[in-house]
Amino acid sequence: MSGFRLTLKAPLSARVDASSLLPEALAGVSAADVAALTVPFGTGVALVGDLFEITAGSDEAVVFSGDPRLDYVGSGLAAGEIRVEGSVGVAAGAGMSGGRLVISRDAGDGLAAGLTGGRIEVFGSAGKNVGGPRPGERQGMRGGVVSIAGRVGDGLGARLRGGLILVGGDAGAGAADGLLAGTLAVAGRLGPGAGRGMKRGSILVTTAPEALATGFAEAGPQDFVALKLLARRVPELAALFGGTLSGRAVRLVGNRLAGGEGEILVLS
Amino acid sequence: MRTRVTGGRVFDPANGIIDQVRDVVIEDGRIIADPGPGGSEEVVNASGCIVLAGGIDLHSHIAGGKVNLGRLLMNEDRALFPEPFGDFCGCGGGRAAPTTHATGCRYSQMGYTAVFEPAVVGANARHAHLEMADIPNIDTGGFLVLGNDDFLLRLIAMGEGQQAINDYVAWMLKATQSCAIKIVNPGGINAFKFNGRNLDLDEAGPFYELTPRRILNTLQRAVTELGVPHPIHLHGCNLGIPGNVKTTLATMGATEGFPLHLTHIQFHSYGTEGDRHFSSGAAEIAEAVNAMPHISVDVGQIMFGQTVTASADLMSQYRNHNIADPKKWIGMDIEMDAACGVVPFNYRDTSFVNALQWAIGLELFLLIEDPWRVYLTTDHPNGGPFTSYPHLIRLLMDKPFRDHHLRQIHKAARSHTRLESISREYTLEEIAVVTRAAPARTLGLKDRGHLGPGARADVVLYEDQPDRETMFAHPRIVMKDGEVVVVNGEIVALTEGRTYAVHPPSDPLMDKRLERWFDEAVGLKSSHYQIADGEIRGGQGPEIVELKP
């Protein structure tokens, strides 16, 4: 077993950039080697061994005990698995291109920013800008799957370009801002101002959103064969809405101020 | 405190010292004549090293409005190249659009000790100076951009006479604490604001009906009559347009005998031959430069990889914005006196055009015979980040290395360049000229770029090794004003540099006249526009460059 378990010795007193602690980077090294690595800590650096107790893992995965100041967990992950038993800070899984990241509690802002592939599962809630662009980027998440059991903050799926985001709880204000393509599914309520500048893509919800951004038009209830196919092909999407999709939904077309090729489907 | 750098091979072409093993003695931040043994001295062993003066980059966009817009646009640049955590670093970073701290650190890690910002727009001059003051370990200076500003164009169009122009130029140089005049696309940026999309050397612009030639000649005369050491620093017409080699040659012929510096000439050396209608004009340009001793150039070599172009030439940046990579750009006006365009580029060796641009730059370096009139630049960040200089130096010094890279570029581009047939390799002496002695001379910095008595004690020790790229990327020791700031390519100390300016005298009546003009036409008062000496580098004040008699 080449994996490691990194248990924090004490709650973190400053923010840590954990982007270098990836399974690929740690494969084939000893626990002492891992302890001797440095990570950015506050405005300086710290030895991994000073912050974490390092033990061999039970499988190939890298397992962290979480902390809300542990940032960039799994950022840049291309293969392998990272599990966090607790919460993480900002930008977890940012720029991930493959592999799997599992967080047992909450994630901070910028979860899955610029994701291009792989899977992220969060069992608690997540902060702002889930699946959005990283600084300087024109597009947000471009592929992969993100599933969040709880609620998410504002700005869900901003400039999303591809992939699937599943939210078990409510979403904050301004979701799907400038969304380009891809799919959002929100089992709870969609916050106000969603869909501003949304060009294409789909948002699946169960309750009609209250205050969408200007530019949407209701096209009435329709039967969608595609929804039934989708439920069969993507079981986790169906599971989010109770196991089955009826195929019937009210279609809100928009955002017509940005081309109007997207849609919000209110499932019935 | 006296320091003796001993045992190194000294290359000091300005003083005719080439590859001689001799001591360099430093006292109180200056180089002094060797007083002989005796007294208390700190000895720096330079055996196995070559000893050069500190590097000088006379054209690198390191401060000011457009540089900051570049940072804003290229956020990801800092994420990709963060500053290493440690005692001296830990914040900022970047390559194409580095933060001020990273700019100073990367430059001094290569052995550079002075860098000049070649495009300071008057309205942004205060910002540029504040940023320059924040760059550690290097001395700086700014070139003021004129040639598209309404007041000047109005003076020329109304036939006000050369004295009024001279007074205005002198007033502006002092007000903005700049050390030379730069012209960006003379009249062209103004024409762009009247929807002009190009303006050739002898084409009258809209509204003022002035030709770029007339604007150029007027300012050349002003700079010469005022005694500003550096000639007009010209970013000419038609940048980047295939066939612009004709314009560039015409510009060289239009100087009326005044000296002229043509900047990033690589972007101005394109022909229209071949089935792709894009070819190298380097041979014609080099021939002309060789024949005209009053012309100097810097190359603006392009280097493959991601960068961002930031230029006051909004006309050409607007032309290029469709090929931005990544797809984003900024174009803006600045106080109606200038403009700015910021467009990210990713130069690829698999692209015919980029590959040929790369070859054209190298051809220019190698075909222009006099190293005293060609300066090593990539027009940072427009041709590539300045951190690529060591690689560029190796391309110039190492023919097999150059041929190896030539074999990797776009096939069709290879057949359009004569680079393979050029056997010239730069010597260490020539590198010392193009990166040190020559830029110091053209800028009128008498105590820089050489190692003679009285010079600033900016001394760099490079370990002599066959791989020139490694050699010039990791100097053994860099001294700034006698203080060691870099050891084995790592920063060990941060010092504050100085800022160069020229203060030619102007008629006090020009003060009155400009006060009125600022009240009528500009967004702030003339008294607020002018930068006081005490504002430079937190009260240190500018270092005044002597005017030519």
pLDDT digits (tens, 9 = 90+) for B41-57: 899 999 999 999 999 99
Interface A-B, measured as beta-carbon pairs within 8 A, has a size of: 26
SS3 B333: strand
What lies within 8 Å, CB to CB, of A158 at 6+ separation is A129, A131, A132, A133, A140, A174, A176, A177, A178, A179
Which residue(s) pair with A56 in the sheet? A4
Work out the percent of chain B whose per-residue pLDDT is above 90. 92
Average pLDDT over residues A166-177: 96
Q: b/e for B473-487, b at 16 or more Cβ within 10 A?
A: bbbbbbbbbbbbbbe
pLDDT digits over A43-54, tens only? Answer: 888 999 999 999
CA–CA dist B346, B327 (Å, integer) = 11
Is 60 exceeded by the pLDDT of residue B420? Answer: yes
The helix-helix angle for B162-176 and B508-521 (nearest 10°) equals: 70
Residue B76 near chain A (CB below 8 Å): yes
Reported confidence tier of residue B39, pLDDT bands at 50, 70, 90: confident
Which bin fits B300, alpha (ψ -120 to 50), beta or left (φ > 0)?
A: left
Domain end marker among A45, A71, A97 = A71
Contact by Cβ (8 Å): B101, B83? yes
Do residues A149 and A54 both lie within one domain? no
B92, closest residue in chain A (CA to CA):
A43
Residue range A115-149, pLDDT digits in tens: 999 999 999 999 999 999 998 888 999 999 999 99
The contact set of A with B (CB < 8 A) is: 38, 40, 43-45, 134-138
A101 & A202 share domain: yes
Mean pLDDT of A194-217: 94
The domain of A17 spans: 1-71
A188 and A213 fall within a common domain: yes
Please choose, from the candidates A207, A215, A211, the residue with its C-alpha nearest in 3D space to the C-alpha of residue A250: A207
The answer to whether residues A248 and A198 belong to one domain is yes
Q: What is the pLDDT of residue B349?
A: 95
pLDDT at B38: 75
Q: List, for residues B107-121, the tens digit of each pLDDT value.
A: 999 999 999 999 999
* Distance (Å) from the alpha carbon of A134 to chain B's nearest alpha carbon: 8
Q: Do A13 and A142 have their domain in common?
A: no
Number of domains composing chain A: 2
Confidence of residue B87 (pLDDT cuts 50, 70, 90): low
Contact B487, B479 (CB under 8 A): no
Mean predicted lDDT score pLDDT of chain B: 95
Classify burial at B421, counting beta carbons within 10 Å of its beta carbon; exposed 0-12, middle 13-18, buried 19 or more.
exposed
8 A C-beta contact, residue A26 and residue A4? yes
User: Is-contact B345 B267, C-beta < 8 A?
Assistant: no
Give the residue from A14, A41, A71 where a domain finishes.
A71
Listed by number, the residues of chain B in 445-464 with a beta carbon closer than 8 Å to a beta carbon of chain A are none
Q: Exposed, middle or buried by CB within 10 Å (0-12, 13-18, 19+), for B496?
A: middle
Residues A93 and A226 placed together within one structural domain of the fold = yes
Residues in chain B with CB shorter than 8 Å from the CB of A138 are: 326-328
Q: Are B70 and B342 in contact (CB under 8 A)?
A: yes
Average pLDDT rounded to a whole number, residues B297-309: 96
| Confidence (pLDDT) at A242 | 87
**Better-predicted residue by pLDDT, A97 or B549:** A97
**Predicted pLDDT of residue B84:** 77
Chain A closest-CA separation from residue B75 CA (Å):
4
d(CA B298, CA A64): 54
B473/B112 Cα distance (integer angstroms)? 11
Q: Are A223 and A170 in contact (CB under 8 A)?
A: no
- Identity (one letter) of the amino acid at B107? Y
Confidence of residue B88 (pLDDT cuts 50, 70, 90): low
CA distance B249 to B531: 38
Instruction: Report the Cα–Cα distance between both ends of chain A, in Å, rounded.
Output: 48
- Angle among Cα B402, B467, B393 to the nearest 5 degrees reads 55
Establish if B21 touches chain A: CB-CB under 8 angstroms.
Answer: no
Q: Which residues contact A54 (CB under 8 A, 6 or more apart)?
A: A4, A5, A6, A7, A31, A34, A35, A48
> Quick one: A130 and A22 in the same domain?
no
Residue A84 and residue A190 in one domain: yes
Clarify whether residues A2 and A92 are in a common domain. Answer: no
Contact, A102 vs A84, CB < 8 A?
yes
A99 - beta bridge partners? Answer: none
Which residues, at least 6 apart from B489, have a Cβ–Cβ distance to it below 8 Å? B109, B473, B474, B475
Contacts by A77-83, CB closer than 8 A, 24 or more apart? A77/A22, A77/A23, A77/A101, A77/A118, A78/A22, A78/A24, A78/A118, A79/A23, A79/A24, A80/A22, A80/A23, A80/A24, A80/A27, A81/A23, A82/A22, A82/A23
Substitution target in B69, B73, B76, B91 with the highest count of A β-carbons within 10 Å is B76
ipTM of the complex: 0.75
